[in-house]
Chains A and B, each alone.
Chain A
Amino acid sequence: GAVVSQHPSRVICKSGTSVKIECRSLDFQATTMFWYRQFPKQSLMLMATSNEGSKATYEQGVEKDKFLINHASLTLSTLTVTSAHPEDSSFYICSARDLSRGSPYEQYFGPGTRLTVT
């Protein structure tokens, strides 16, 4: 149980294009999902908290107009990297909380999306 999927797992795009990443909770409903970014040899950094039916909350330094988040249903959140540039190349990971089990702080992670912008 508590499975989170992400799609695509890997994407290569040209500079200036937009990329959409999907995060789905497969066997539970997630009112809150989280989007992280991880650069090589660095820790996961929280980018934003996605709330179903309301606006996402962005961390300091993360541009909300560049990283568009939509959480339209209890099982799906999307992250769109708009006008991607090479410095946006990173490993993007989503997570979700399943309030029906475990600690309220425990998060289940998707397998990640490796974005390469050329």
Chain B
Amino acid sequence: RKEVEQDPGPFNVPEGATVAFNCTYSNSASQSFFWYRQDCRKEPKLLMSVYSSGNEDGRFTAQLNRASQYISLLIRDSKLSDSATYLCVVNKPSGGATNKLIFGTGTLLAVQP
């Protein structure tokens, strides 16, 4: 089983649509969760952290379900500029001071005009 699993997509949605991405992780000891966005041939950029109580940033809402080890990202009112690959990222507890991040393979979103 992969440490972080995502549906690779692609998700093709029209502008203005609402789209949701899901992610599951295998290590129950993980404590930090993120969604990153990666544009084609570019580096990943932090979109938002995911908190236990759920959090919202404009059109983006992230949810965490620790019991099910499940993370979600909801994008409302999709824009053309939202087209990218969305990476689910989870920390891997490894002891000591260094915390590693484990990346999912990403979900490709294509917003159509």
Contact = CB atoms under 8 A, between A and B. Distances in A.
Chain A interface size, under 10 / 10 to 19 / 20 to 34 / 35 or more: 20 to 34
B42 A103 contact: no
Nearest to B105: A43
Given A43-B87, A104-B99, A105-B32, A93 B46 contact: no
Interface residues of B, number: 23
A44 B44 contact: yes
B73 to A, nearest CB: 16
Contacts, number: 50
B12 to A, nearest CB: 17
Given A43-B87, A49-B98, A103-B32, A110 B43 contact: yes
B69 interface: no
Nearest to B106: A43
B1 interface: no
Contacts of B32: 103, 105-106
Contacts of B45: 109
A105 B41 contact: no
Interface of B: 4, 31-32, 34, 41-46, 49, 87, 91, 97-106
26 contacts: A32-B97, A34-B101, A41-B105, A42-B105, A43-B87, A43-B105, A43-B106, A44-B44, A44-B87, A45-B103, A46-B100, A46-B102, A49-B100, A57-B98, A91-B41, A93-B43, A93-B44, A104-B99, A106-B32, A108-B46, A109-B43, A109-B45, A110-B43, A111-B43, A112-B42, A114-B41
3 closest residue pairs by CB, A with B: A105-B32, A109-B43, A43-B105
Interface of A: 32, 34, 41-46, 49, 51, 57, 91, 93, 103-112, 114
